[in-house]
Amino acid sequence: GEFFSGNVHGFVLLNHGKGEDIRRADCVMACITGRQKAQAIYSALRNELIDILVIDSLTAEEIMRIAEAERSA
């Protein structure tokens, strides 16, 4: 992906932001695609780092599979 950061209409945009940057935000919206990112997304959700998540259906299915596997363990 391309690197971007800055303020747009009151939003702070970060690409590959660090956890400490995300924790300072009032609201974090993540738009992510790719099943290979499912574990990282799941971890971010478990750590309450994301308030709004926009993902594709394949990634959503993988996150649900990971969550089910964790519950079953």
3-state secondary structure 10-52: CEEEECCCCHHHHHHCCCCEEEECCHHHHHHHHHHHHCCCCCE
Question: Does the predicted model carry a pTM greater than 0.85?
Answer: no
pLDDT in tens, 16-49: 555 556 777 778 888 899 999 999 999 999 999 8
Question: Above pLDDT 90, what percent of the chain?
Answer: 47
Residues 6+ apart with CB under 8 A from 62: 35, 38
According to DSSP, the β-strands at 5-8 and 11-14 are antiparallel
